[in-house]
Amino acid sequence: MQVLRGMVDILPAEARRWQWIEAVFRETASRFGYGEIRTPLLEHAELYERSVGDTTDIVQKEMYVFDDRGGRTVALRPEGTAGVVRAFVEHKLYGRETLPLKLFYMGPMFRYERPQSGRQRQFHQFGVEALGSDDPFLDAEIISLAWFFLQSIGLDTVELHLGSIGCPGCRLRYRERLIRHLLPHRDELCEDCRRRLDTNPLRILDCKIDGDKPFVRSAPTILDDLCDDCKTHFTQVQTALDALGVPYTIDPHLARGLDYYTKTVFEFIDTRIGAKSTVLAGGRYNGLVKELGGPDLPGIGFAAGVERLMLLLEKKAVPSGAAAAFDVVVSGFGTGQDVAWKLLFALREAGVRAEWSFDQKKLKAVLRDADRAGARYVVLVGDDETVRGEVTLKDLKSGEQTTFSQETLVERLKTLLS
């Protein structure tokens, strides 16, 4: 048997790194005033069809959908925002909590894709959502939180791309203008882009084949078509970021792939991991709460791909935090076994990280293993010690060893290790 395709085991050595990066994210989120929310991994498939958009690739070809035993059509969550907004609406949090309600989450997401590095079928995201405010300072807060988090874990090579895709009105106007611009050149487009002209003309702008063609480069950008409200909002976000010294580049071609985005969109990109270079991305979704049956409240958030962050960190030799699992190894042999066994537990009760020497190894092996594991001390109780009511304590670092009464062991070790 082996793991399912696209699924990955996180082994102990790797898990330590995960704990570290999760701790940094939790700390960052809480410092910015975001509280944790945990939502189910399984939801009605319809939730994603309505939020992410039923024409998107995520819904059309990447969702893990199946009927449960009760005949409900359910899906493993492909992203985090929909579930959070669903919970917000379902529990009417907009009536109970001060707005904006600021939330973070972390956990596995599922997309049925062809795996490659930085892309798995089960992957993990750190995410943040703020619901109930359209204040541009909130956009800037979220972006600065993302930036600060990436700085905190040592990723200083990522670039922030910032854009706005306006409100539905702006987008409609722009779409028509873009099609008008590109239509005369239809025959010069690649096969994919001729299709995109009808389905998603915005994508033509960053097509690998057509993106550099003169008539594409001269295409109007959505930033020119923003309405006054969207334009002002976007300017204010920039001003707020400038004030903090958060560096960004305006990217008029940023087109998020999920249907729910409005106004501000942003992406943190690192070019060192090949084609899949986006490590964190997000934006506003002012229509989503209403779309899911709630009041007409705005929202904004982002999600970061943990595996992609890890990939980048590997190339950077990160603080591994490979601390020893324990400080003391206790070994009893001969008549000393029972005493040693009780001492081990007493040490643990007293807060000492102590380990038993399993499998009746020879003293030589006990010391070798303790040394390898990074333990500082070894407690030995053999026949000699037992008759005198003593224990032998060996300091692996200095090589020195002393013998003293069993009763004083716990106190001595606590002192030595403090």
**Which segments of 186-274 are extended strands (E)?**
249-250, 262-269
Which of 45, 63, 178, 279 touches RNA (CB under 7 A)? 279
Tokens 């950077």 — which residue? 316
Site string for RNA, 163-202 (x = CB under 7 A): -----------------------------x---x---x--
- Site size toward RNA (CB under 7 A) is 68
Which of 43, 233, 308, 340 touches RNA (CB under 7 A)? 308
Is residue 276 a contact point for RNA (CB under 7 A)? yes
Q: Least separation, in Å, of the C-beta of 258 and RNA?
A: 5
Is residue 47 a contact point for RNA (CB under 7 A)? no
Q: In what order do the strands lie in the sheet with 390-395?
A: 354-356, 328-332, 377-381, 390-395, 401-405
Contacts of range 232-238, beta carbons closer than 8 Å, 24 or more positions apart: 233/134, 233/136, 233/139, 233/164, 233/263, 233/264, 234/136, 234/164, 234/263, 234/264, 236/136, 236/137, 237/136, 237/139, 237/140, 237/143, 237/162, 237/264, 238/162
Task: From 261, 268, 310, select the one nearest 286 (Cα to Cα).
Answer: 261
d(CA 51, CA 287) in angstroms, rounded, equals: 9
Is residue 262 a contact point for RNA (CB under 7 A)? no
d(CA 312, CA 187) in angstroms, rounded, equals: 40
The set of residues, in sequence order, having a beta carbon less than 8 Å from that of 278 and lying 6+ positions away, is: 267, 268, 269, 305, 308
Strands 249-250 and 122-131: unpaired
Q: Least separation, in Å, of the C-beta of 140 and RNA?
A: 19
Is residue 203 a contact point for RNA (CB under 7 A)? yes
Which of 50, 256, 263, 284 touches RNA (CB under 7 A)? 256
Is residue 96 a contact point for RNA (CB under 7 A)? no
What single-letter DSSP state applies at residue 50? I
d(CA 204, CA 198) in angstroms, rounded, equals: 11
- Piece in contact with RNA (CB under 7 A), picked from 176-184, 240-248, 319-327, 361-369: 361-369
Q: Known binder of ligand: residue 97? A: no
d(CA 168, CA 156) in angstroms, rounded, equals: 34
Which of 28, 51, 56, 144 touches RNA (CB under 7 A)? 56
Which of 114, 191, 218, 296 touches RNA (CB under 7 A)? 114
Q: Known binder of ligand: residue 111? A: yes
Q: Least separation, in Å, of the C-beta of 248 and RNA?
A: 16
d(CA 390, CA 380) in angstroms, rounded, equals: 9
Q: Known binder of ligand: residue 376? A: no
CB-nearer residue toward RNA: 69 or 208: 208
Is residue 161 a contact point for RNA (CB under 7 A)? no
Which of 307, 356, 412, 416 touches RNA (CB under 7 A)? 307
> Annotated binding residues for L-histidine, as ranges?
79-81, 111, 125, 129, 256, 260-261
Q: Which residues bind RNA (CB under 7 A)?
A: 2, 4-6, 56-58, 61-62, 79, 111, 113-120, 123, 125, 192, 196, 200, 203, 207-208, 255-258, 267, 274-281, 303-305, 307-308, 334, 336, 361-365, 367-368, 371-372, 380, 382-385, 392, 394, 396-399, 401
